[in-house]
Structure 1
Amino acid sequence: MSCLLEAPLRISVLSEVTATSRHYVDRLFDPDPQKVLQGVIDMKNAVIGNNKQKANMIVLGAVPRLLYLLQQTSSSLELRTECAVVLNSLAMGTENNIKSLVDCHIIPALFQGLLCPELVFIEACLRCLRTVFISPVTPVQLLYTERTVIPHLMSLLTRSLRTQEYITQIFSHCCKTSAQQIFLFRHAALKNIAPLLTSPSYKVRLHAAKCFAVMTYQNTLVAIYVEDVRVDGERPSQVFVRMMQRDQPIEMQLTAAKCVTYICRAGGINMSSNHITLKTLPCLVRMCSKERLLEERVEGAETLAYLIEEDKQLQRIASTVDNLVGMLADYFKYPTSVSAITDIKRLDRDLKHTHELRQAAFKLYAALGSNDEDIRKKIAETENMMDRIVSGLSESNIKVRLAAVRCLHSLSRSVQQLRTSFHDHAVWKPLMQLFQNAPDEVLVMASSTLCNLLLEFSPSKEPILQSGVIELLCSLTQHDNPALRVNGIWALMNMAFQADQKVKLEILQSLGTEQLFRLLSDSDTTVLMKTLGLLRNLLSTRPHIDQIMSSHGTEIMQAVKAILEAEQCVEVKEQTLCILANIADGCTAKEFIMTNDDMLQKINFYMGYSNVNLQLPATFCVSNLIWNEEDGSQERQDKLRDMGFLEILHKLTQASDPSLSDRAKTAMQQYLA
């Protein structure tokens, strides 16, 4: 019986709520303007802090009517302003609310409202626009669809502190692409926003700084011009340095540090500047300490990683400040006990922070250890570090996995770590598992790491070979992503170095001659270079050279000829000539060169070329062809003498480069023996 009584009760309550909400909406259509105004004010009071009521108003059609009233010039200023206020309140609800407002074309209506001369209405429209645009569900390109909007917003910056706050906040959230950065830049954003860096309003200063950060991120053009702007006679970087002082709010310090970091990385400030080494870097290290909030520690570590990513000196400095390497170990100790958390919302939040902290720590470790052996050793010896990386490689969160493999890649540049920590923890096993249904970002970093683990001195090379990696790498060489093609062929090249004949033949069989020669004509020079490197490693050791050439010699010679005849850089032709020199070292393989007069003429040409990097391998090739201790050497010497090689060798004995002259003298001795 009790169950039967509850259902009508719920229906009646719902009906009552809907009827109340309908009453608010109906009053917007009253013929009396004063009653409409009062209705809007009452609606404003009803929806403040009440997401359910906001949703009801939207469902019942309040938004189109509010927008209509807002755009009517016959509406009073107070009514239009109150409509903007209510719309802003509705926008401060759920993401679904924002989607509904955008679908009702709120943005063009508010843009139109900015043309009104009355400041109070402009501020109300801007505030609502700010709320809509800072939502992640609002397409930021809507700010740029009408080309007159940005210039008009720039003109409104001088109207009041509120217009400055709202507009800079809109810009800082709606500058996501290079095209958007350039658009703002060309409409004098730097010049117009720079004075706001010294505004009496903290919020204006903060959002102005955020504008500088988003505009200069990875944008060389904007970054270079930043330092030409003046703020009360100072460069912006000087203002940002003051914003980093310890007496400033943490958000301001972090934002200023980001600005200087982005300007520096984009080329606007020298890496060795005191602004970087004495101010920005120490500020970001401070943000990594356990006294800071979790969000601040994440942001500080990620920004610092970006700052030092490509500079060895900054990496060394950072590694010595406040025991940063040890400090980052604390990032893995949160939360202390997930099982003790019963609040679901808190659990979700704590897991989110756990992922973000680990991701940030891995990123910073990767940046710190990317160049310096001592720093890598220090990182690897941090408590449980290798266990944490191995665990990170199998994290459910894709960003943590990517950051962990970046860290592993950084450490894999160390011969010592490859021989010790990597071998002891068998990191190749979880690394190989990353190749199963991973996004390209992870695949690129994992395959880069695999290249290092397959180096000749790595203890991991043998077990990786036994795991069937050759087929995996050959499949990567067929990938659309050039970086994956490079890594696939690079890893095969490393694997083929000083490998036994069985491995080399397996590589050739799995790759296939068709794919090998497709890679030799790849438009990406790096792919071509690594493929030539693979071929050079395959064609080493005489028995291997002869066997490979006996089955693939014709195709290899065709490929070599095509590369030498094409418009290629010196490095590509040098590698190709080295392959010829290797072929010339074979017992039977050298006949592929000796019976090809066209190829011999090409070798002759490059011996006399003006670049020693091409002359040297060409001379090596001739030296191998005429070596006295091999059968048929006399016939080969005679043929090459008749083709003018002896005269060229004689000239090269006088070459200014000692390596070239020595090689030419060695070849000449074969004729004299």
Structure 2
Amino acid sequence: MPASMMNCRPEELVERLGFADVEGGGEANLKVLRDLKNQIIGNKTKKVIYLQLGAVPRIVSILAAALEGGESCTASNIIVQSAAAIGSFSCGVDDGVQAVLNAGAVPHLIRLLSSPEEKVVDAGARSLRMIYQSKLAPKFDFLEEENLKFILLLLNDKNENLADLAASIIKHSCKSREEQKALCHAGVLQRLVSLLEGSLCQRESSLDSITTVVKDNSEIASHLSTINDGRAVNLIVGMMKDRYPRTRFLSCACLIAIGKASPRHIQELEIRTKLILILSELLEEYSQVGDEALFTLVSLVEDKEDLHKQALSMNVIQKLCDSLHRSDINGRRLQGILLALAELCSRYEKSRDHVMSSAVLDLVFNALRHECADVRIAACRLISSISRSVKSLFAGHFSTESTVHGLVQLLQDSSIPVQAAALKAICNVVVNFKASKAIFIESGCVKQFVKLSKSTDSELRLNAVWALRNLAFNADKVCRERIIFELSENALVSLISDLEPRVQELALALIRNLVDGCVESIDTILRKYAGVLDAVVGQLQTSFPEVCTQAMFVLANIAAGRDFHKEAVIGNLLPPGEDSPPVLLKLLLSSDIMLRTVTVWCIINLTQPNCPTSSSRVSRLRDAGIVSQLKTMVNDSCLDVKFRVRSLLGQCNISDQALS
């Protein structure tokens, strides 16, 4: 490029854009367009500068004028350069895509596709493909016949760029089962299959589109398996051995989509093992293919312990760990590696052991501070998976001050998904060992947990209460006091009555852990937070058995305390002057085994014979018909309930004898 072009200031170029019309000064415009295009290609900084200067609307105006200005050679060249510049602005910069859409470029670019000049068609197709790689691109509604005809027109054309554009449009726009069926019924799937035997570009475009059309749709996946007597799927399987890495990758992604939609078509262990092998080999491709292969691997092995074991035996985990040590790793690849390791360690203890022995933990902890939010989330997920190992927790790998500080810092992250992921990781780390609880308490995390438990985001609220519950589990007196101190009565009542049943359940489980075996905590809840007990009792009427069970666990733990604690519980379960059948009766008749069991446990704690007022509570239970109901449960279908009931009835007889 001549030095004069390189040194031309952006302000000058933008000012010169559109100065001359196509007829009078087309060559001048052409030169400016080339200069600008050459400056922005591959340079995001320059793109932003030109966007701020308003270059895009001017370029679109030049394109529109050139389309109306005749069929001269200059006009064609201006069209090609304008389209190329618009495509470049749309590549990798969402603000650029938005500017292109706001300027009304898409209809003009679509017009280029019907041009008799191949170079104009190519320029329009490439520019539109750049736009349709962005989530901001307009959707094609495939339930409209005209749009289906347009896609078929692109796919049936000999121009490979048009097939590539069709694939981008299908991938971006086809989101519903109805649209998948519409594409299939219109003959699009059949045409895509025929392109599997075309050129490299056609094969790859076809694979990408087929993946979208069959995704999560068993009907379409089954139909694909019947096309050409099953030859379509065999062609895709054969492409796993293709010489081109991108083709191998796309064939793997397509087969995985088919297998997820209709497992019976891709269920042979041999094929799934081959998929793991090829995807792991593609990790050595330091390109977009290698980056995306990681996410496709995650999709393949997700929630499949047999494939987790297979991956370990094929040395995939070691390969992933080795990749973490590379200094030239980009953010997207780092995210993929961490997510792949997180999935492979989520169920299989030997996979966790392998990661722990590969000296990568420091690299994972460093990733908690990465500039990319997706990487920070992936690092949290890996910590969540590895910390499921009691062995690793016991060894103290996650309870160092630096690790705790790194996780707690993320609770104040600007990204809500990062905060939620950090909370999940903390949930696992704090659940079992008092040493780690003390470090977390000292970090000031309890205040953050409580703050996040008030979030309007349901996942964040859920994870915050989960973290509090786990922190309170088997905690010492100091830890429990700190949690109770940070939680107000209103906060606890609000969580118990949350709109989300799962939050209600965890909030009750938190209180259950706080009062478990700690009379001081029971005293605090009953004396200072009286409204909490009312809220707990209120949840005995809920239609969600899990919530009701946790409420009974709270009452059972309180009933295990001092005598006046027991009186508080029975006073709420059997309120004086209540005419309707007591809630205890309903719970004992429940079909939920755990609910029946914990209800019996609560009554056992209420009637301990070593308490001076136990006999009076037995009398109240007898008068309410509870003892009669217990007698009908001596042969309960659940062995635990049966034995507890027999023990309880014996306990009640002892109390009766003491009363007489």
Q: Same fold judged by TM-score > 0.5?
A: yes
* AA in 1 matched with 2:550: Q
Structure 2 partner of 1:671? 652
Residue of structure 2 in register with 1:314 after alignment: 307
Aligned pair partner of 1:443 in 419, 424, 427: 419
Name which of 360, 363, 366 aligns with 1:388. Answer: 363
Residue type at the aligned position of 1:332: L
Post-superposition offset of 1:275: 6.6
In 2, Cα distance between the equivalents of 1:462 and 1:515? 23
Residue 584 of structure 1 aligns with which residue?
559
Distance verdict in 2 for CA 1:484–1:193, change over 3 Å: farther
Asked if 1:651 corresponds to 2:632, the answer is: yes
State how far apart, in whole Å, the 1-side matches of 2:444 and 2:653 are.
51
Q: Determine whether 1:220 maps to 2:216.
A: yes
What code does the residue aligned with 1:315 have? Answer: H
2:198 corresponds, among 200, 214, 229, to 200
Instruction: Sort the Cα spacing of 1:100 and 1:299 in 2 relative to 1 into closer, same or farther, 3 A.
Output: closer
3-state SS of paired residue (1:396) = coil
Aligned length: 624
Structure 2 CA distance for partners of 1:156 and 1:78, relative to 1, 3 Å: farther
Percent identity, aligned pairs only, is 21
Local SS of the residue matching 2:138: helix
Letter of the 2:326 counterpart: Y
Provide Cα deviations, 1:635-660, integer angstroms capped at 9, x if missing partner.
22222222222221211112222111
- Give, in angstroms, the shift of residue 391 of structure 1: 2.0
> What is the CA deviation profile of residues 198-257 of structure 1, one whole-angstrom value per residue up to 9, with x for unaligned ones?
2321101101111233455xx524x65233124433265433221111x43111001111
Q: Measure the CA separation in 2 of the matches of 1:496 and 1:93.
A: 55
1:377: how far off?
A: 0.7
Give the counterpart of 1:70 among 60, 67, 73.
67
3-state DSSP of counterpart to 2:246: helix
Partner of 1:278: 273
Q: Distance in 2 between matches of 1:433 and 1:300?
A: 31
Q: Give unmatched runs, 5+ long, in structure 2.
A: 42-49, 655-660
Alignment of 1:261 onto 2:256: yes
Residue 637 in 1 paired to residue 635 in 2?
Answer: no
Instruction: State the alpha-carbon separation in 2 of the partners of residues 446 and 202 from structure 1.
Output: 43
Residues 472 and 235 from structure 1, CA distance in 2 versus in 1: closer, same or farther, beyond 3 angstroms? farther
Structure 2 residue identity aligned to 1:395? H
- Residue 329, structure 1, aligned to residue 316, structure 2: no
Answer yes or no: is the 8 Å Cα contact 1:362–1:403 preserved in 2: yes
Q: Report what 2:245 is aligned to.
A: 250
C-alpha separation in 1, matches of 2:473 and 2:40: 70
The residue type paired with residue 150 of structure 1 is N
Q: Does the CA-based 8 Å contact 1:380-1:421 persist in structure 2? A: no
Q: In the aligned structure 1, how far is the partner of 2:153 from the partner of 2:309?
A: 46
Distance in 1 (CA, whole Å) between partners of 2:17 and 2:407 is 62
Deviation at 1:268, TM superposition (A): 5.6
Residue 531 of structure 2 is aligned to residue 532 of structure 1: no
Distance in 1 (alpha carbons) for counterparts of 2:16 and 2:637: 94
Give, in whole Å, the separation in 2 of the partners of 1:525 and 1:57.
51
Contact 1:227/1:236 (CA < 8 Å) preserved in 2? no
Select the residue among 281, 284, 300 that pairs with 2:293.
Answer: 300
Secondary structure at the counterpart of residue 337 of structure 2:
helix
Q: How far does residue 495 in structure 1 lie from its aligned partner after superposition? A: 1.9
Structure 1 CA distance, aligned partners of 2:351 and 2:488?
Answer: 42
- TM-score, structure 1 normalization: 0.81
Q: Give the match for residue 106 of structure 2.
A: 107
1:417 aligns with 2:414: no
Q: State the match for 1:661 in structure 2.
A: 642
* Structure 2 match to 1:406: 381
Give the letter aligned to residue 387 of structure 2: S
How much does 1:97 deviate? 8.5
C-alpha distance in structure 2 between counterparts of 1:499 and 1:390, whole Å:
26
Cα distance in 2 for residues equivalent to 1:381 and 1:287? 24
Contact 1:583 1:589 in 2 (8 A): yes
What residue is the counterpart of 1:344 in the other structure? Answer: none
Deviation of 1:517 (Å):
0.8
Kindly provide the amino acid, as one letter, of the partner of residue 470 in structure 1: V
Q: How does 1:461-472 map to 2 (within 5 A)?
A: 461-472=437-448
Distance 1:636 1:53, change over 3 A: closer
| 1:372 aligned partner | 348
**Which residue identity lines up with residue 108 of structure 1 in the other structure?**
P
Does structure 1 residue 488 correspond to structure 2 residue 460? no
Residue 412 of structure 1, CA deviation: 0.9
Q: Which residue identity lines up with residue 484 of structure 1 in the other structure? A: L
**Structure 1's 143 and 579: CA in aligned 2 closer, same or farther, altered over 3 A?**
closer
Letter in 1 for 2:450: C
1:611 Cα shift?
A: 3.4
| Corresponding position of 1:175 | 171
Select which of 150, 153, 156 maps to 1:156: 153
1:627 aligned to 2:608?
yes
Report the alpha carbon displacement of residue 260 of structure 1 after superposing the two structures with TM: 2.3
Q: What CA deviation, in whole Å up to 9, does each residue of 1:250-297 have, x standing for no partner?
A: 1100111122233444566678444752332221121124xx335443
- 2:637 aligns to what SS in structure 1? coil
- 1:331-379 CA distances to partner (integer Å, 9 max, x unpaired)? 23434xxxxxxxxxxxxxx5xx443443332222111111111110111
Quick one: distance in 1 between partners of 2:482 and 2:598?
28
From the superposition, tell whether residues 44 and 89 of structure 1 become closer, same or farther in structure 2 (CA, over 3 Å). farther
Q: Are 1:51 and 2:38 matched, yes or no?
A: yes
Structure 1 residues 29 and 414: CA distance shift in structure 2, 3 A:
same
- Distance between the aligned counterparts of 1:89 and 1:429, measured in 2? 49
Greater CA drift, 597-606 or 527-536: 597-606
Match for 2:196: what amino acid? T
3-state SS, counterpart of residue 581 of structure 1:
helix
Tell me, in whole angstroms, the C-alpha distance in 2 between the residues paired with 1:361 and 1:464. 28
Taking the TM superposition and a 5 Å limit, the aligned residue runs for 1:18-29 are 26=20, 28-29=22-23
| Among candidates 536, 546, 570, match of residue 545 of structure 2 | 570
- Structure 2 CA distance for partners of 1:77 and 1:469, relative to 1, 3 Å: same
Give, in whole Å, the separation in 2 of the partners of 1:604 and 1:25: 87
Structure 1 gap segments, 5+ residues each: 1-8, 31-35, 336-349
Mark the CA change 1:512 to 1:286 in structure 2 (over 3 Å): closer, same or farther. same
Partner of 1:343: none
- Whether 1:551 and 2:548 are equivalent positions in the alignment is no
For the 8 Å contact 2:446–2:486, the answer to whether it is kept is yes
